[in-house]
Structure 1
Amino acid sequence: MKYNVIHRGDDISIQLMHRFHELIRQYGLIHEEASPDIVLSIGGDGTLLHAFHQYKDQLDHIAFTGIHTGRLGFYADWKPDEVELLAQLMGESANQNDLRAVKYPLVEIQITTPQGIETELALNEFTLKGVDATLVAQLHINDELLETFRGDGICISTPSGSTAYNKSLGGAIVHPSLDAIQIAEIASINNRVFRTLGSPILLPKHHHCDIYPRANQNILLSLDHLYMQRNDIISIRSLVAAGKKVKFARFRPFPFWSRVREAFIGYDMV
């Protein structure tokens, strides 16, 4: 079995990477950057997002796991002082050919411009924001007009990404076993002239959302941690990615709701 390590670049993460290389060597795993079977992320959630986008074209055979070296790592199951245990369990799983993984849905983004259609994937969320003016865009669900949006922007999140930006927008936390995407408004304008639904929306798989921005708007798009500014967008379609999911290696149980509790509430509950 082949593995690679993506780290944040700080001293603690680099030291952990070297320590992990030493520990995993005894189990016969091969270090390979080009096409690994397991990718270990050492850092924060941003580090794992970097790892995901680096290997997004190989999701069919790659599983991710993470050690968080910052204050909060929602995707990372492991703490720095558990690197020996992680190496042991990973090595034993590899030698027994018993790599267990959970699969989380992704959001697929289809951006239509005069040049054609560009297709992207996001693990956390996709956002659309106005740059130098209020974003004005028609929002269609399954090819039917729902509303004309006016405001700062629109966020489309995955279930696992529902705990990120979406949560700060008042969106629901969604269990990643559900194949769905969530649409949340970013500071919409609602008065007697302009009106939006004003509530997050969950779309199941096989449903899609189309956003038609006003022509020639300067728009800032984000795919997780990646940003681009465009003024050539005709429409953007968002839907649950068909046949593509991200896999996270699970070497011990760590239920989703336990992860939510640890990330947002903590164990010192009164």
Structure 2
Amino acid sequence: MKFAIMTKGDSKSNSYMHKMKTYLQDFELVWDEHEPDIVISIGGDGTLLYAFHRYSSRLNKTAFVGVHTGHLGFYADWVPEEIEKLVIAIAKTPYQIIEYPLLETIIRYQHGGKETRYLALNEATVKSVEGTLVMDVEIRGQHFERFRGDGLCVSTPSGSTAYNKALGGAILHPSIPAIQLAEMASINNRVFRTIGSPLVLPAHHTCMLKPVNGPDFMVTIDHLTLLHKDVKSIQYRVAAEKIRFARFRPFPFWKRVHDSFIADK
């Protein structure tokens, strides 16, 4: 089996990486940063996001597992004290593959420029470069509303506990193939009106945003912030690809939600 390790970059996480690398090579696993069968993330959820984007071109061949060195994460289910146990599990135990849905974002441009496609593990957002964002929202090719406000956030089920939750969105179980559209400070008065509630769209529904008041936007894809100019439309839907996690033991989603937001620290 070929493996790679990505870390948060701090000295503690790097020391754990060297330890794991040595142990796994002692078990005759092969270090391969280009075509790994399994990628170990050491840090937090942000580290796993970086790992996901680095290996997004081989999602059907690579599985991910996370070791969290700080606060409990939604993607990292092992702690540093369990590194030897995890090494033995990777080297000796057939693991279960758990798949989570991803978000596909396609940005098309005026004047027929080549479209850009992104995959997100957590969410994608769009904001105006300056002033209020005004977007026509289409669902399944039908006009739904004209949004006015600070911005819009489209999240995956596994990302529903992140920015989406802060915006008042629902928490979705990652087994549900869906995306969620949440508003950022929408303008609602006697003249302008939006739905005002998050929308959950199933896998066979597509959400399209069409600019009304300008073609330039700040777009985020997980941790990446990008300026896109001359935008004609932004399309969101559940991606055909999925992220694959290597599971060596149960990692109940609702327990993670409880431990992250409700349990006493």
TM-score (norm 2): 0.96
Q: 1:257 pairs with 251, 254, 259, which one?
A: 254
Q: For residue 125 of structure 1, what is the aligned residue in structure 2?
A: 123
The Cα offsets for residues 63-116 of structure 1, whole Å up to 9 and x where unpaired, read as: 0011111224221001111111111111112xxxx2311000001011111303
User: Matched residues in 2 for 1:111 and 1:231: separation?
Assistant: 10
Other-structure match for 1:71: 71
Task: Give the counterpart letter for 2:261 in structure 1.
Answer: F
Distance 2:183 2:72 in 1: 25
Alignment of structure 1 residues 64-213 onto 2, 5 Å: 64-93=64-93, 98-114=94-110, 115-213=113-211
1:235-250, aligned counterparts within 5 Å?
235-242=233-240, 244-250=241-247
Amino acid at match of 1:154: L
What amino acid sits opposite 1:32 in the alignment?
D
Q: What residue in structure 2 maps to residue 37 of structure 1?
A: 37
Shift of 1:59: 0.2
Q: List per-residue Cα deviations over 1:130-161 (Å, max 9, x = no partner).
A: 12110000000001111000000000000000
1:223 corresponds to which residue?
Answer: 221
Return the alpha-carbon distance in structure 1 between the equivalents of residues 180 and 53 of structure 2: 21
One-letter identity of the residue aligned with 1:136: V
Query: Secondary structure at the residue paired with 2:115?
Result: strand
Q: For the aligned residues, what is the CA RMSD?
A: 1.2
Distance 1:11 1:45 in 2: 18
Instruction: Write the deviation string for residues 154-208 of structure 1: whole angstroms up to 9, x where unpaired.
Output: 0000000000000000000000111000000011011111100000000001100
Q: How big is the shift at 1:26?
A: 2.6
Other structure's SS at 1:167 match: helix
Partners of 1:79 and 1:263 in 2: CA distance: 15
Question: Residues 261 and 267 of structure 1 are in contact (CA less than 8 Å); yes or no, is this contact kept in structure 2?
Answer: no
| Secondary structure of the structure 1 residue equivalent to 2:20 | helix
**Deviation by residue 1:196-246 (Cα, 9 ceiling, x = unmatched):** 00000000011000000125343110000011112311001100012x100
| Counterpart Cα distance in 1 of 2:88 and 2:123 | 33
Identical pairs, percent: 51
Contact 2:106 2:118 in 1 (8 A): yes
Contact 2:66 2:77 in 1 (8 A): yes
Structure 1: segments with no counterpart, 5+ residues: none
Which consecutive residues of structure 2, in runs of 5 or more, have no partner in the other structure? none
Equivalent residues of 1:142, 1:209 under 8 A apart: yes
C-alpha distance in 1, partners of 2:133/2:215?
8
- Aligned length, in residue pairs: 263
Task: Measure the CA separation in 1 of the matches of 2:87 and 2:249.
Answer: 12
If the length of structure 1 is used for normalisation, what is the TM-score?
Answer: 0.95
Match of 1:13 in 2: 13
